[in-house]
């Protein structure tokens, strides 16, 4: 067996020896003399010599014994050249070498293109030859094209003015008010569409009705310029539509500024692109040399970059206006940074695109400019299209469901997020295809079919999991009645007991359901990804089950809290925003987690109560609440008058626009409840909606005090009566008794007043 392995290794070395010999002179052992025979003759050292002819190698190997094979193998391996030791800085050297090589290659390309600059003089002759025209007839053709486009533009403007005048006259006859800004934008868009149709018909008709006969090539040349002018006009109309949707109607000044900036930038950029495409196509058809076409493409690409670069500063209003309108209440750090520095990012993108496209053009030719233009259009129009889709969905849902356009319904938010993800993926894929990068082919060739399939499967799983989660979240929040309530955003939160607006049962229960379903989707997606990667999930699930059992035994209190919370929620014992009392702890329910309840006291303190510790819960915010008030009046008070006054106050409060809607039963007098030493206690009660009783109590106190004062009814005050037999006290003693009685009638001083008295005495 060892001999067979050695023979195989020797055969491989012998067969590969000529290749080594061709690449290095040290590949052959100079100590080995070559035997030209079949191995019959032996050298003096009794070593077998391999033949030079590879065809004789099998016969030579078959004649070797064990000792000869070992000796020949050792000598051949010893003669094999050793690999050179790579220096530590080889990677850096290779990097600099690659950079220098690329630099020299681009320098050679620039020199070649510059050397072709004299070929620019051939442009006119090549175009005239292709169009079969003389210089005079070519000037006439260009003049007729310009005249046709100008006349079509004038007729378009006249048609738009006539349509607008006709609409205004009809509205004036019918006595209709001016339309809102949104309908006004739609009407203007319709006018522009009619004008574009007239422009196309007139320009095409004038070109075809040329006073002199045009050849087929000349007609195609003229119609291509008409099509280019039409594309520029369509781009202008698209920019108008984008402004109508993206900039709020209330910012009229911002709209005008953005329209002015966009019109110049969009028209100039599209005109440059169309002109470049027409010229390069015509020059390629006419046989203009490659270098001349490349120079013209570079010049037009530079002009396009200047248009875009100059229009960036003017377009700040397009981003700042919606933000100033207050649409974005919660801004992340990235959003704030982009809102203030987006123009710098835009300039950097334009500059990098300009440089990269020029370098690509030096490598591949003028076709790189087409890829650069398509890339810029993709970068510019993809966010605009997503934004238009967002606003269209928001307005559609707002009109159907009566929502505010600034508040996104749950389905709108989910659809917009999914659309953004899909648009980003599609844009990246299209960008790669534009520049000749096929992701699937690249992965299949470089990474292998299995790895490529794995990456694609994982991406699809992640995308589907995100879409499923957005659908679940939209359903949950639709059932809950909208986005989760944040106490910081609740305008009705005040420094009063229970004044936070209570939420519905679904708004309380659904956030926990949403969190649970998120964990479920995350776990399922993770398991599917692991299975796609080839991981056996069976042992993983078994291990997770064992760990779960261990955690369950070690965290019994946690399990108790979770289970108790589930049953509290099923019993509908409390909701977000309700005022509750738990074991002498009062406050408004501010948050509910999986194991605890967060309560905020009306003085600001926050209490966290685990569900498992709740023995008794009192809810003050359900259905109705009765509030009882007490007033201490003097013994001589007319009780019938008091009852009449309280009845009038209850009637006034019921008729009040602000407070009447919160009463379930009016304010009523309960008569005398009890007698005390200094007066009698009169009771007043009313029934109100939960959460509104404290505001109503304040108003009742105010009106009762004013009414009692107006009718001469006095509140009882503490009094001290001192009876002294007449004629037995002197004047000094009477004054002393009076002072003592007055001091006894006064309420005891508070600790703060005692400290102030001590400070004054010292």
pLDDT band per the 50, 70, 90 thresholds, residue 140? confident
Q: Identify the pLDDT of residue 24.
A: 39
- Three-state DSSP at 328 gives coil
Q: Identify the pLDDT of residue 559.
A: 75
The phi, psi pair for 673, rounded to 5°, reads: -90, -40
Name the segment(s) of the chain with CATH classification 3.30.70.100.
625-710
pLDDT mean over 159-172? 79
pLDDT mean over 302-311? 76
Q: Could you identify the residue written with the tokens 């699809």?
A: 460
pTM confidence score: 0.47
Q: Identify the pLDDT of residue 574.
A: 79
pLDDT mean over 426-449? 66
pLDDT mean over 111-122? 67
Burial class (CB in 10 A: 0-12, 13-18, 19+), 71: middle
Pairing of strands 606-610, 625-633: unpaired
pLDDT mean over 142-159? 84
More confident residue, 716 or 240: 716
pLDDT above 70 for 33: no
CB 691 within 8 A of CB 576: no
pLDDT band per the 50, 70, 90 thresholds, residue 2? very low
Percent of all residues in the chain with a pLDDT value above 90, rounded to a whole number:
0
pLDDT above 50 for 379: yes
If residue 217 lies in a helix (H) or strand (E), which one and from where to where? helix 216-246
pLDDT, tens only, 249-301: 555 555 666 666 666 677 777 777 777 777 777 677 777 776 777 777 777 77
Q: Identify the pLDDT of residue 621.
A: 79
Question: Among the listed ranges 73-82, 134-143, 180-189, 561-570, which one has the minimum average pLDDT value?
Answer: 180-189
More confident residue, 12 or 563: 563
Q: Could you identify the residue written with the tokens 């299949």?
A: 444
Q: Identify the pLDDT of residue 334.
A: 60
For the ranges 316-320, 346-350, 410-414, the maximum mean pLDDT occurs at 346-350
Q: Which two tokens stand for residue 654?
A: 């019921």
Q: Identify the pLDDT of residue 725.
A: 63
pLDDT above 50 for 512: yes
Helix axes 216-246, 367-401, angle to 10 degrees: 40
More confident residue, 292 or 671: 671
pLDDT mean over 209-238? 77
pLDDT above 80 for 606: yes
Question: Among the listed ranges 30-34, 91-95, 254-258, 265-269, which one has the minimum average pLDDT value?
Answer: 30-34
More confident residue, 681 or 329: 681
Q: Identify the pLDDT of residue 485.
A: 47
pLDDT above 70 for 438: no
pLDDT mean over 308-335? 56
Determine the topology of domain 625-710 in CATH: Alpha-Beta Plaits (3.30.70)
The phi, psi pair for 674, rounded to 5°, reads: -160, 165
pLDDT above 80 for 491: no
Beta-carbon contacts of 632 under 8 Å, excluding residues fewer than 6 positions away, are 676, 678, 679, 680, 681, 682, 715, 716
For the ranges 83-87, 355-359, 503-507, 723-727, the maximum mean pLDDT occurs at 355-359
Q: What torsion do the CA atoms of 414, 416, 417, 419 make, to the nearest 10 degrees?
A: 120
Question: Among the listed ranges 6-15, 503-512, 559-568, which one has the minimum average pLDDT value?
Answer: 6-15
More confident residue, 669 or 45: 669
The string of DSSP letters for 23-64 reads H-GGGS-TT-PPP-SSS-S--TT------SSGGGHHHHHHT-
Q: Identify the pLDDT of residue 492.
A: 40
CB 245 within 8 A of CB 206: no
Q: Identify the pLDDT of residue 493.
A: 40
Q: Identify the pLDDT of residue 42.
A: 42
pLDDT band per the 50, 70, 90 thresholds, residue 600? confident
Residue 616's closest CA among 638, 584, 648, 589?
Answer: 584
pLDDT above 70 for 639: yes
pLDDT above 60 for 332: no
pLDDT above 50 for 15: no
Q: Could you identify the residue written with the tokens 């949707």?
A: 245
pLDDT band per the 50, 70, 90 thresholds, residue 349? confident
Mean pLDDT in the chain? 71
Name the segment(s) of the chain with CATH classification 2.30.30.60.
493-536+569-619
Q: What b-and-e string marks burial along 343-363, b requiring 16 or more CB atoms within 10 Å of the CB?
A: eeebeebbeebbeebbebbbe
pLDDT above 60 for 21: no
Domain 493-536+569-619 matching CATH 3.40.50.1980: the answer reads: no
Q: Identify the pLDDT of residue 338.
A: 64
The DSSP secondary-structure symbol of 583 reads: T
Q: Identify the pLDDT of residue 494.
A: 40
């Amino acid at each position: 067996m060892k001999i067979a392995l050695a023979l195989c290794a020797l055969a491989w070395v012998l067969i590969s020896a000529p290749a080594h010999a061709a690449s290095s002179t040290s590949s052959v052992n100079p100590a080995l003399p070559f035997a030209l025979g079949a191995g019959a003759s032996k050298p003096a050292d009794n070593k077998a010599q391999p033949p030079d002819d590879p065809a004789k190698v099998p016969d030579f190997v078959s004649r070797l014994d064990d000792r000869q094979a070992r000796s020949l193998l050792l000598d051949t391996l010893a003669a094999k050249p050793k690999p050179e030791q790579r220096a530590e800085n080889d990677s850096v050297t290779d990097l600099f070498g690659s950079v220098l090589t690329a630099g020299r290659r681009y320098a050679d390309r620039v020199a070649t293109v510059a050397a072709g600059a004299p070929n620019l003089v051939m442009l006119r002759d090549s175009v005239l030859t292709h169009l079969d025209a003389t210089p005079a007839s070519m000037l006439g053709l260009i003049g007729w094209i310009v005249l046709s486009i100008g006349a079509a533009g004038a007729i378009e403007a006249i048609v738009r003015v006539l349509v607008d005048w006709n609409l205004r006259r009809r509205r004036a006859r019918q006595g209709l008010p001016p339309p809102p800004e949104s309908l006004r934008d739609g009407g203007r868009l319709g006018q522009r569409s009619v004008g574009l149709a007239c422009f196309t018909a007139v320009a095409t008709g004038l070109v075809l009705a040329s006073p002199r006969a045009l050849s087929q090539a000349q007609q195609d040349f003229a119609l291509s310029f008409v099509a280019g002018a039409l594309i520029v006009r369509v781009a202008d109309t698209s920019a108008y539509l984008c402004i109508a949707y993206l900039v709020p109607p209330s910012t009229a000044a911002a709209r005008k500024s953005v329209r002015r900036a966009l019109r110049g930038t969009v028209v100039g950029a599209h005109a440059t692109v169309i002109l470049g495409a027409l010229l390069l196509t015509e020059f390629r058809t006419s046989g203009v040399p490659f270098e001349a076409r490349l120079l013209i493409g570079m010049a037009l690409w530079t002009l396009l970059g200047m248009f875009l670069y100059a229009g960036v500063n003017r377009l700040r209003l397009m981003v700042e206006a919606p933000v100033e309108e207050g649409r974005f209440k919660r801004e992340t750090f990235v959003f704030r940074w982009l809102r203030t520095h987006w123009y710098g990012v835009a300039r950097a993108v334009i500059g990098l695109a300009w440089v990269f496209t020029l370098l690509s053009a030096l490598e591949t030719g003028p076709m790189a400019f087409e890829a650069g233009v398509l890339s810029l259009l993709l970068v510019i129009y993809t966010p605009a299209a997503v934004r238009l889709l967002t606003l269209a969905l928001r307005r559609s849902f707002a009109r159907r469901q009566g929502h505010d356009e600034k508040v996104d319904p749950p389905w709108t938010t989910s659809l917009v997020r999914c659309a953004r993800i899909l648009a980003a993926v599609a844009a990246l894929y299209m960008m790669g295809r534009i520049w000749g990068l096929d992701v699937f082919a690249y992965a299949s060739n470089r990474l292998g079919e299995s790895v490529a399939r794995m990456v694609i499967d994982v991406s699809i799983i992640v995308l589907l999991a995100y879409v499923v989660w957005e659908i679940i979240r939209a359903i949950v929040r639709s059932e809950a009645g909208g986005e989760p309530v944040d106490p910081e955003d609740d305008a009705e939160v005040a420094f009063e007991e229970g004044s936070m607006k209570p939420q519905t049962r679904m708004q309380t229960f659904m956030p926990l359901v949403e969190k649970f379903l998120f964990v479920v989707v995350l776990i399922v997606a993770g398991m599917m990804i692991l299975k796609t990667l080839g991981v056996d999930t069976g042992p993983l699930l078994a291990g997770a089950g064992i760990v779960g059992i261990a955690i369950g035994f070690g965290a019994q209190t946690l399990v108790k809290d979770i289970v108790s919370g589930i049953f509290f929620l099923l019993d509908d014992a409390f909701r977000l925003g309700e005022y509750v009392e738990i074991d002498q702890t009062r406050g408004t329910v501010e948050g509910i987690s999986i194991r605890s309840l967060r309560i905020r006291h009306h003085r600001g303190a926050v209490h966290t109560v685990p569900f498992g510790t709740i023995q008794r819960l009192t809810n003050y915010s359900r259905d109705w609440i009765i509030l009882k008030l007490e007033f201490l009046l003097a013994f001589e008070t007319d009780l019938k008058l008091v009852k009449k006054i309280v009845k009038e106050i209850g009637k006034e409060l019921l008729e009040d626009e602000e407070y009447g809607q919160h009463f379930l039963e009016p304010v009523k007098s309960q008569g005398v409840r009890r007698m005390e030493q200094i007066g009698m206690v009169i009771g007043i009660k009313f029934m109100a909606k939960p959460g509104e009783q404290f505001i109503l109590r304040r108003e009742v106190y105010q009106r009762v005090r004013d009414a009692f004062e107006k009718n001469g009814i006095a509140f009882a005050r503490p009094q001290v009566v001192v009876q002294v037999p007449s004629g037995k006290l002197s004047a000094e003693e009477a004054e002393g008794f009076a002072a003592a009685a007055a001091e006894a009638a006064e309420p005891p001083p508070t600790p703060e007043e005692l400290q102030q008295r001590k400070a004054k005495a010292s």
